Chain A
């Protein structure tokens, strides 16, 4: 069973607008971490933001914030005030407490247009 699901293969947003990228996950663990990474066309993987399963507040990091809904097992990334440089692939990932590896979704390609 797929543990991380990103249902939006591609998204478009106009510059300065906000955009939400969806991510749902599946785990039976009570303790886990959720991560978002950005992969621009140059190919590197850039860590954006982290949410722990016991965190009561939604994580925020600059223009990035998470809409974490634990009961729904979703952790959507919100990018506010989009910039042209936000155009990239965005990957959601999860690490369960007793595991070492990150499990990645298939990604969402975001394109920001002027």
Chain B
């Protein structure tokens, strides 16, 4: 399967713990985007990365959230000291910035904070 891979699919954390969400883009894609979906809402942009660079983090909360896309390995979205309000589905998308720049999404990680 050459699609966008995300793991884990489901993640349960207690308040105060750390959550690490991983995303491997589609083959040939070097642009990664993270979105968050709260229940019964559309997706909200968080951050856009290329290899080793954060290009746009205008949608990221200022505290506790960070993202990286290292030269080797998957992109990581890290949430420190999780709170109940962080419970959501987190989607990763990738694109290759061609003429349509279509973003293809992974299956998402559903984070539940107890």
Interface positions of A (Cβ within 8 A of B): 4, 33, 35, 37, 43-47, 50, 52, 91, 93, 95, 100-107
Contacts and interface: CB of A to CB of B under 8 A. Distances in A.
Question: Which 5 A-B pairs have CB atoms at the shortest separation, nearest pair first?
Answer: A104-B42, A101-B45, A45-B105, A100-B48, A44-B107
B52 interface: no
Contact of B42 (A47, A52, A105): A105
Contact of B44 (A35, A37, A104, A107): A104
A94 B38 CA distance: 19
Interface residues of B, number: 26
A41 B57 CA distance: 29
Contacts of A101: 33, 45, 48, 56, 58-59
A43 B42 contact: no
A106 B43 CA distance: 8
Contacts of A35: 102-103
